[in-house]
Structure 1
Amino acid sequence: MTSAEEQALLNDAEHMRWAQMGVNEAEKMHAIQNGLAKARRQTQWKKRHFGRQFVLLAVSAAAVAVLLLAGPLQKMIPQASPAAQIDHWRGLEPFKKLPSYNKSIQSAIQNGYVQMVNKSAEQDGYKITVNAVIADENELILLYSAATDSTQEIYNVNSVKLSDLSTDASLKNARGGGYGNTNVFYGRSTIELDRNQSFPEQLEADFQIASVDPDKLADPKTGTIPADMRYSPRLKVNFSLDPKFNEYATETVYPNQAFTLDGYGFTLSQVELSPLRIRAKFTLDDHEKLSIAERNSLFSKLSPAGIVSQVEGKAELLSNASGSGGEDGFEYVFDSNLLDKPQSLMIRLYPEVRGSRSRIVVDMNHKQIVSIPESVQSKGELSFNGEGLLQWKQKVAEGHSFQTLSKFKDRDLEVDLNIVHSSFDPEKRELTEIYQPSLGEPVSDRTVLYAEEFIMLKIK
């Protein structure tokens, strides 16, 4: 192997290592800037994706809410069946610990929307197993595990490729991450599919494992010295893809709902809904007049915290998985739990007016509202519900702003205020949110809450 080839393999291994740990924010912005600069010179929408390797545990308080009503979703969501009650996680428990684990995987497996593969390839003391696969017409998720014998320690799985055997075409590059110990590694790779092409039936997964000699894994210099790295032969696993994954077509809606952000006009122009992802596109008014610097700034301000999904009275967050910039606007991809048949979905973005928040004082111990500004009280009703949690109920006129609660300050300590329930009644135009302080945080008789202004935009 030449020194150039060794360096290329080392770079691949280190790239995958960083993917497991998360993506640096500066690198994300650099990718955005490059994409936007390129888009200035072209006329079509360009996608430059960057991964967001984090899971948000609480809804961002600085957000615009876009309501995705349940109506158009029901056409494509499979009906519940007795099989959905089976423990489909059996044999897949280690994958719950993946750093890149997301709600799409959880929802799919809990609903039995998963294909167990359990096929392996082994050579020279290296072994790779494709444990399971999940797919829809937009993307495919591989869950795999790797192992070595006692002569090597696993650094990572530094290369994952997927090919459609019926066409001999390579699918798009995989993204993902994993975790492991000395001789075992669990990983996930997500491959984007083109739904305008034939749905793949026969696939070949091609892996390479990076490893080091015993006791080298703990060395801080591991990964920086090419001579220390060892690589498995290419390990290939062939399998057939379950046709059930091709049964649910992507539903595309065109809300065309306009709003402003820091004086700039936006339109939520398109939303794609499928079992494994939700994609939203925002177009910019007068985009041809904006500089690259202005677009970079607007991308950061618009970037969603996630989607709040309401399922059987409980709220959960679907994370923002990736984002991209183009000539006429921005596009974001989120996790999906459509298989859970959510009653509502709300995209939360940044507020139209920054710093617009009102101060509320509550007695968390005695469950009483101490003081609340008239500007807040006139828009809704803040109270403690029967479970002792804060409940904020308000009327929302279409296209008008609404208020929600954010972090609160208890003495000199700022505490997260998590949304545990969020629902919207389209007939009454009534929004209800229930909040709970972070567990284990101290509270007092005079706790300061903040109510902030947001905007509600409706998708049919």
Structure 2
Amino acid sequence: MEKKLEDYINGLDVPEEKLDDAIYSGFQKAKREKARLKGKKWWLSVAFVAVLVLGFFTSIRVSPAFANYVAEIPGMEKIVELIRHDKGMMTAIENDYYERIGISEKKNGIEVVIDGVIADENGLVLFYTINSDEKQTEIMMDNVVLKNADGKEAEHYSLTYGGPHYSEKGEKSFNGAIEYFFPEKPLLDRELQLEIEIRGENYSFPLSLKSDIKVKKTYPINQTVTIEGQKIHILDATVYPLRVAVHVKMDPKNTKKLLELEDLRLVDENGEAWTKIKDGVTGSEISDNERIYYLQSNYFKEPKELYLTLNKIQAVDKDYANVIVDFEKGEILKQPRGNRIRDIELSQHHIRFDFYSAEEFPYQLISEAKDVNGRYIDIESTSWEGYQDGHTNIRIGLSNLSSYTNPISLKLSYFPEWIQGEAKIRIK
């Protein structure tokens, strides 16, 4: 399959400047993706570059009815391009589960249009267009706030929105999506207020959602799988139109810290698979051993059989699940075997280190920081420079290290060590 794909790509006539523009845009988005995460700990996917590049090499296989539907709605083809990597959103649109909004506001030559929304009990995805009177090489949102009709900001949510929008040659129109998810309670408000800031100007949009919300489907599972002696208990899977939430617990007796169920997926009787969310929030943490993983949704499919499968897990020995740093001496006291974290540099407000991996590892390594007394340290930002010769330069912004007690502990959320096996559970 890899050989066939390689031959196919090599045979395509893709303008080099277009490809370069996409790659650079992907790197910029990966380095500067904005996320506002409140209420719980979250995992956010950063593997954007491959999605953008492969978009030039793939086509949308849809029914004639869907093609006609897209053609009849102005701008819909741009929305489809945004979500073509997400089978759940694609089938939601194919099943007419998309609500047009079409409201706009213009200030100082910059117009923002809220095109439409896909909403369910768990969250909503708002699609927008930014139009400019002048060509722009870069434009981005600086702030996004969602309020109810009473003006109260939403609580206990995750929010992701891409940025900056980049064009090497300059464009007058850009498209994107704003994704809100509410894991703790259903989205009940149908009258909302969306506020966006661009270049110091505030844009405000009253949103009145009219379409009916599809009710979630829950599959009780309560089964345990074992991979290389490590046990994972699968409690249930809840299917929403936008995504599937798989609730899992790790056995506290496991000898390894299971960081990421890397290829968790739903598979039907024909082998069709719904994989993990590729762009956005991929999971949330309930406790140290209990998590929710998010998959693309099969809500609008009705397979005769449905399986949950798993083969590959990122895992480290529990004794090495945290990186311990002496910030006074600038030394790494403890890390997983292999000496992957090197050449550490510290200041009052950041930690910078060189991360080694044999292949590019497009995951955010650190999820939290705390001092020796257990006081949490705010992680204000994370950035990284491109992978080259096995090395990635990573910088983590921390608030006022001198006010904490040395040493500090950095909790690993991802790491390039794996266990592998075969696990398959029938849930339908």
TM bucket by the smaller chain?
0.5 to 0.7
* Alpha carbons 2:310, 2:424 under 8 Å: kept: no
* One-letter amino acid matched to 1:266: I
Q: Larger relative contact order (C-alpha < 8 A, sep ≥ 6)?
A: 1
Which secondary structure does the structure 2 equivalent of 1:105 belong to?
helix
**C-alpha separation in 2, matches of 1:108 and 1:309:** 18
Q: How does 1:373-392 map to 2 (within 5 A)?
A: none
Change (3 A) 1:342 1:139: farther
Where structure 1 has 5 or more consecutive residues not aligned to the other structure, the ranges are 1-16, 29-45, 58-81, 210-230, 355-451
Aligned with residue 234 of structure 2, among 268, 277, 280: 268
How far the C-alpha of 1:335 sits from its partner, in A, is 1.4
Change (3 A) 1:334 1:244: same
Q: How does 1:150-229 map to 2 (within 5 A)?
A: 150=134, 153-166=137-150, 168-170=152-154, 172-177=157-162, 179=165, 181=167, 182=170, 183-193=172-182, 196=185, 199-209=188-198
How far the C-alpha of 1:239 sits from its partner, in A, is 1.9
Q: How does 1:296-307 map to 2 (within 5 A)?
A: 298-300=258-260, 302-307=261-266
Which secondary structure does the structure 2 equivalent of 1:150 belong to?
strand
Deviations 1:129-178 (A, max 9, x none): 00010100001000001122227544223332221214623353421326
Where structure 2 has 5 or more consecutive residues not aligned to the other structure, the ranges are 1-24, 52-63, 316-419
Structure-1-length-normalised TM-score: 0.51
* Alpha carbons 1:99, 1:177 under 8 Å: kept: no
What is the total number of aligned residue pairs between the two structures? 276
- Structure having the higher strand fraction is 2
Is residue 219 of structure 2 the alignment partner of residue 235 of structure 1?
no
**C-alpha separation in 1, matches of 2:300 and 2:83:** 22
* One-letter amino acid matched to 1:315: E
* Alpha carbons 2:305, 2:426 under 8 Å: kept: no
How far the C-alpha of 1:85 sits from its partner, in A, is 8.5
**C-alpha separation in 1, matches of 2:423 and 2:150:** 48
* Alpha carbons 1:19, 1:177 under 8 Å: kept: no
* One-letter amino acid matched to 1:340: K
Deviations 1:321-371 (A, max 9, x none): 50234233332011103113344443332269x9xxxxxxxxxxxxxxxxx
How far the C-alpha of 1:271 sits from its partner, in A, is 1.2
* One-letter amino acid matched to 2:181: E
* Alpha carbons 2:243, 2:295 under 8 Å: kept: yes
Change (3 A) 1:198 1:22: closer
The root-mean-square deviation of aligned C-alpha atoms, in Å, is 4.0
2:378 aligns to what? Answer: none
* One-letter amino acid matched to 2:302: K
Q: Which has the larger radius of gyration?
A: 1
Change (3 A) 1:261 1:324: farther
Identity %: 21
Aligned with residue 320 of structure 1, among 269, 277, 297: 277
2:216 aligns to what? Answer: 250
* One-letter amino acid matched to 1:324: S
**C-alpha separation in 2, matches of 1:110 and 1:187:** 19
**C-alpha separation in 1, matches of 2:216 and 2:144:** 26
Structure-2-length-normalised TM-score: 0.55
How far the C-alpha of 1:309 sits from its partner, in A, is 4.8
2:379 aligns to what? Answer: none
**C-alpha separation in 2, matches of 1:133 and 1:198:** 14
* Alpha carbons 2:238, 2:245 under 8 Å: kept: yes
* Alpha carbons 1:165, 1:204 under 8 Å: kept: yes
* Alpha carbons 1:251, 1:273 under 8 Å: kept: yes
1:51 aligns to what? Answer: 44
